[in-house]
């Protein structure tokens, strides 16, 4: 195949979930609804937390940033897909594709670190309740947010700049509804060994360390709860972690689903559906998980509405 330098590439083609013209209106309606629900749900969470002084605590501080990250994560991918369906076009510019790769990595990484920070917050609240206010002070909370943003930005820029050095062939079709790093690297005609090593190395470190932190936090939490004498105290402690555990399970469950599906199947459609579950479903469901399982959030939302 003819090789093109990256400066000669005008656009990539996003094949999406289906090429059947009859399914396009259904897909447009479905994803427009999902995006509007995601945007409305996360905006309501942020507004409710900001407007209710009772929710100005570290746990809800992290939750508001998680909602902002979810909204941005969904906005990075879904609107472009809706525009392409409406225009009956599959194209995305070279610059637009790499920009999408960068922001997907940025917000996915930020969510990863935010979930770890929220797990640490629950660990301190349950295992060290008397020192909670001292440990989880505004300075530490702000530092954790800043650290997650800096590390995620560095990761996103590293992978994006490494893609810039690649040369691509004339076959520029991406069998997804957005520009996923792994799929873009597969289209390159030049040597991608360094890119693949970086993907596996950085993903293992930046994905594994927060996950280990979450596992450690909940190991300590469960151990502390089991030592509590009263059943009421145990229930109250578990209830404060229920929403976070549900969100963690959803985030990492869909992430591992993408990895397993890409490893076990060669069907591009199945891989695209798995990626859809990872990038679209968690941002939509997270506001419902936190609002339906949290009495304080319910009251704040009632006041706001």
pLDDT for position 267? 63
Beta pairing class for 11-14 and 173-174: parallel
Tell how far CA 216 is from the center of its chain.
21
Which residues, at least 6 apart from 126, have a Cβ–Cβ distance to it below 8 Å? 221, 224, 225, 237, 240, 241
Percent helix / strand / coil, the chain, rounded to 5: 80, 5, 15
Strand-pair partners of 169: 3
Contact 282, 34 (CB under 8 A): no
Number of residues that make up the chain? 305
pLDDT for position 6? 47
pLDDT for position 183? 86
Q: Given its phi and psi angles, is residue 169 left (phi above 0), alpha (psi -120 to 50 degrees) or beta? A: beta
d(CA 291, CA 67): 12
DSSP, res 188: B
d(CA 54, CA 43): 18
For residue 190 the two structure tokens come to 């030049």
CATH code for the part of the protein at 11-304: 1.20.1070.10
d(CA 201, CA 195): 10
d(CA 243, CA 260): 25
pLDDT tens string, the chain, 305 residues long: the values are: 444 444 456 688 888 777 777 888 898 999 999 999 999 999 999 999 988 888 899 999 999 999 999 999 999 999 999 998 888 888 898 899 999 999 999 999 999 999 999 999 999 999 998 999 999 999 999 999 999 999 999 999 999 999 988 888 777 888 888 898 988 998 888 888 999 999 999 989 998 999 999 999 999 998 988 887 777 777 777 777 888 888 898 888 887 777 776 666 666 666 777 777 788 888 999 888 888 777 788 888 888 87
pLDDT for position 174? 86
Contact 288, 301 (CB under 8 A): no
d(CA 72, CA 62): 15
47, 63, 108, 140, 250 from 113: Cα distances, Å: 22, 12, 9, 14, 15
pLDDT for position 10? 67
d(CA 246, CA 115): 11
d(CA 28, CA 84): 10
pLDDT for position 38? 95
Residue 3's H or E segment, with its range, is strand 3-4
- What is the pTM for the complete model shown? 0.90
What sign does the dihedral 103-109-107-200 (CA atoms) show? positive
The residues spanned by each domain of the chain are 11-304
Contact 187, 172 (CB under 8 A): yes
Instruction: Tell which residue, 130, 39, 33, 67, has the closest CA to residue 294.
Output: 67
d(CA 188, CA 182): 11
Q: Which residue has the tokens 């999406």?
A: 16
């Amino acid at each position: 195949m003819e090789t093109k330098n990256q400066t000669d590439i005008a656009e990539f083609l996003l094949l999406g979930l289906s090429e059947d013209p009859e399914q396009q209106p259904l897909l447009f309606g479905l994803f427009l609804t999902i995006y509007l629900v995601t945007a409305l749900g996360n905006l309501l969470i942020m507004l409710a937390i900001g407007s209710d002084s009772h929710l100005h605590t570290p746990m809800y501080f992290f939750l508001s940033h998680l909602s902002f990250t979810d909204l941005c994560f969904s906005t990075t991918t879904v609107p472009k897909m809706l525009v392409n369906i409406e225009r009956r076009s599959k194209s995305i510019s070279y610059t637009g594709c790499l920009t999408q790769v960068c922001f997907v990595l940025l917000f996915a990484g930020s969510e990863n670190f935010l979930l770890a920070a929220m797990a640490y917050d629950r660990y301190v609240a349950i295992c060290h309740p008397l020192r909670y206010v001292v440990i989880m002070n505004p300075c530490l909370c702000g530092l954790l947010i800043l650290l997650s943003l800096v590390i995620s930005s560095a990761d996103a820029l590293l992978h994006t700049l490494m893609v810039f050095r690649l040369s691509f062939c004339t076959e520029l079709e991406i069998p997804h509804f957005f520009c996923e790093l792994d799929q873009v690297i597969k289209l390159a005609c030049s040597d991608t060994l360094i890119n693949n090593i970086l993907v596996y190395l950085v993903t293992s470190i930046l994905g594994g360390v927060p996950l280990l932190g979450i596992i450690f936090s909940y190991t300590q939490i469960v151990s502390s709860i089991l030592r509590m004498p009263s059943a009421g105290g145990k229930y109250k402690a578990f209830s404060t972690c229920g929403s976070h555990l549900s969100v963690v399970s959803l985030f990492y469950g869909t992430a591992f689903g993408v990895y397993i599906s890409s490893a076990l199947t060669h069907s591009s459609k199945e891989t695209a559906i798995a990626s859809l579950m990872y990038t679209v479903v968690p941002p939509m469901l997270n506001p419902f998980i936190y609002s339906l399982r949290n009495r304080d959030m319910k009251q704040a939302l009632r006041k706001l509405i």
